[in-house]
Structure 1
Amino acid sequence: MPNKMTKPQNFENHAKLYPLHHFVIMPMTLIFLGWTVARMDFSTSDTVSDSFYFLLLALIVLLVSYLPRIYALKNQNRIIRLEMRQRYFYLTGTPFFEKESLLTSPQIIALRFAGDEEFLALMDKSIKETTAPKEIKKSIKNWKADHHRV
């Protein structure tokens, strides 16, 4: 839950950056990968072997630092789908499965930011006009904040 000094969440400020991941680990990993590629030496069999060893190491470090973020986002997206199924049922008394099959995952994720009073209309419009997720978020008037996202 945000504290009283936190600005209300909206389209402009809803994206999250994690300083340790985005500004330390990933840049260092990319620098290591770039440095490794730049230093690759194919002049002798030993340097070729060392070059590929360090390239493999750099790729492993990149994957090890990137995959947990992907896993967390995929899990979060599954939870969002469950939340939206529950929310739709709460608002309409009917299952979400029919409407869900007409929406893309990014559309469903974007719709979760809509307040209850505009959610159904926005969802129907998104299905009818195949609205892009970014446009869905921009059209939300009553933003439903989510401060627990990964």
Structure 2
Amino acid sequence: MQHQSYKNHIRYYPPHHFVFYPVIAILLGTALYKYFTDDANNASWLIIALLVTLTGWLSFMMRQHYALTLQNRIVRLEMRLRYFQLTGKRLEDIENKISFAQLAALRFASDEELEDLIQRTLADKLSPTQIKESIKNWAPDLMRV
């Protein structure tokens, strides 16, 4: 496996990203083509195009919603445990001062730089991208959906 860093930390689910969505795109393209070229059945092709669009949109929204809602809870709990193990202090005391996106970005920091990076985030209001770019020793999250 390749070493994870800021540049390559985004993950894809091949059946979904490289099979399902291309099939949806092909079906939608075909339905729209037929809608404009098959005058006898263009109402049917419009309905098919709308159903394909709805199917693609709903599958994206549901997949993202369920996976990320659960995963965000796990990331929050993981960071609370990790912060407590490193500092002996509760993360909940400062958690309301940073966004979840900032907290999620901080999880990539190594144990050695996590506490300092949290303090910099609080003091300088670093964005999630700035946090990730500041990390010197990237701690990979190889299980992120």
Q: TM-score range by the shorter chain?
A: 0.7 to 0.9
Cα RMSD (Å) of the superposition? Answer: 2.3
Q: Which moved more, 1:88-97 or 1:99-108?
A: 88-97
Task: Say whether residues 1:99 and 2:120 are aligned partners.
Answer: no
Aligned to 1:3: none
Aligned to 2:65: 70
Task: Give the alignment's TM-score, normalised by structure 2.
Answer: 0.83
Q: Distance in 1 between matches of 2:24 and 2:54?
A: 10
Task: Say whether residues 1:60 and 2:54 are aligned partners.
Answer: yes
Aligned pairs for 1:1-150 within 5 A: 6-40=1-35, 47-48=42-43, 50-66=44-60, 67-150=62-145
8 Å Cα contact 1:25-1:65 kept in structure 2: no
What secondary structure does 1:141 align onto? coil
Q: 1:65, CA displacement in angstroms?
A: 2.8
Which one-letter code corresponds to 1:55 in the other structure?
A: A
5+ residue gaps in structure 1?
1-5
Superimposed CA distance per residue, residues 94-133 of structure 1 (whole angstroms, 9 cap, x where no aligned partner): 2212311111111111100101111011111112222121
5+ residue gaps in structure 2?
none
Residues matched between the structures, number: 143
8 Å Cα contact 1:26-1:65 kept in structure 2: no
Q: 1:16, CA displacement in angstroms?
A: 1.2
8 Å Cα contact 2:34-2:42 kept in structure 1: no
Q: Distance in 2 between matches of 1:37 and 1:103?
A: 45
Q: 1:37, CA displacement in angstroms?
A: 4.0
Q: Distance in 2 between matches of 1:133 and 1:27?
A: 31
Identity of aligned residues (%): 39
Q: Distance in 1 between matches of 2:2 and 2:10?
A: 13
